[in-house]
Amino acid sequence: MSNMMYRAAVLSTIMEEMERDPNVVVLGEDVVGGMGTEGGPEAIGGIWSTSTGLYDRFGATRVIDTPISESAIVGAAAGLALSGKRPIAELMFADFIGVSLDQIWNQIAKFRYMFGGKTRCPAVIRMAYGAGYNAAAQHSQSVHQILTGMPGLKVVMPTTPADVKGLLRTAIRDDDPVIFLEHKALYATTGEVPDDRDFMIPFGHARLSRAGGDVTIISSGLLLGMCEAVADKLKGEGIGCDVIDLRTTSPLDEETILDSVEVTGRVVVVDEAPPRCGLGADLCALVAEKAFSSLKAPPLQVTPPHTPIPFARELESAYLPSVDKIEAAVRRVLAWR
């Protein structure tokens, strides 16, 4: 095991897979890493420092700087995938998927189905998402609910460096298109990761990060740490919380969720996306439909309001879920009679 930053787990996994498979290629804006900066062209390694050293190691035919055009990046990734390559395309911000939706929604997500399973499109589209940096409405969004609703895509949201290693490797080796969402506020977090270069985590397998028995809390990404903090606090009061880290939203690990709810009978879903037609609403509907007889209280969502993300620090803090909001929701379902 090694202690590693989240961003380093991204980089090292890409490096290892490029060394293992010559068909793996990387493309995106500034993935070469900051030409003209002090320390050489790769001193930065892209805006998130997740491509440092790739160009020097693999050259211009496998590490490709692109124009500022998300539609071109994803379109090129689709063409590469259909031609036998395994592209890893980076979009600097998930907010910019709008200009590449035709390539994602109508092309890469549908190729296998439109041609009767006779073709494949093994493209990985990496995106940084999430708020917390006061980057305003166009650079702070969580878009997983949009992408999860597109059949044909696998959607991954790793929380820990170990999950980054296992899930990204699985994504790169998968024969279907994968959306890999990395929360910006997690890039500098650290954790233990396996040294095994074949370490993989299968999609559709959630992680139980806390085990209790009184209430089920479901989340992923940055907000999972808040859920764990609430669980740890309530444990001191004799209240046990199951905290489920989804890891992937498509495929979804329904079994882990429903098994927990059958025991606890109480559910709180914590999500960074707005509530309407979102992941939180979908999970509440899942529980109501498939575990209704086990419920002791209505399922609750903790989400931002249905508004664009504000810029001011105080407003953004008020907008986002927080430890206090999550704790209040948990106490509310526990008090239901």
pLDDT tens track, the chain, 337 positions? 999 999 999 999 999 999 999 999 999 998 987 544 555 545 567 788 899 889 989 999 999 999 999 999 999 999 999 999 999 999 999 999 999 999 999 999 999 999 999 999 999 999 999 988 888 888 888 999 999 999 999 999 999 999 999 999 999 999 999 999 999 999 999 999 999 999 999 999 999 999 999 999 999 999 999 999 999 999 999 999 999 999 999 999 999 999 999 999 999 999 999 999 999 999 999 999 999 999 999 999 999 999 999 899 999 999 999 999 999 999 999 999 7
**Confidence (pLDDT) at 136:** 86
**What distance in Å separates the CA atoms of residue 52 and residue 236, rounded to the nearest whole number?**
44
Token reading at 59: 């050259």
**Confidence (pLDDT) at 34:** 56
Task: Indicate where the chain has its CATH 3.40.50.970 domain(s).
Answer: 2-193
Token reading at 210: 């806390």
Burial state string for 263-282 with b = 16 or more CB within 10 A and e = fewer than 16 = ebbbbbbbbbbbbeebbbbb
Task: Indicate where the chain has its CATH 3.40.50.920 domain(s).
Answer: 207-335
**Confidence (pLDDT) at 111:** 94
**Confidence (pLDDT) at 43:** 57
Token reading at 251: 């495929």
**Confidence (pLDDT) at 36:** 44
Please, how many CA atoms are within 13 Å of residue 94, restricted to the half-sphere of its CB? Answer: 25
> What is the pTM for the complete model shown?
0.95
Token reading at 90: 């980076």
Burial state string for 174-206 with b = 16 or more CB within 10 A and e = fewer than 16 = bebbbbbbbbbbbbebebebeeeeeebbebbeb
Beta strands in 147-220 (DSSP E): 154-156, 178-183, 190-193, 207-210, 215-219
Q: Which CATH architecture has domain 2-193?
A: 3-Layer(aba) Sandwich (3.40)
The one-letter amino acid code at 224 reads: L
Contacts of 191 (CB under 8 A, 6+ apart): 3, 4, 6, 160, 161, 162
Q: Which CATH architecture has domain 207-335?
A: 3-Layer(aba) Sandwich (3.40)
Catalytic residues: 139
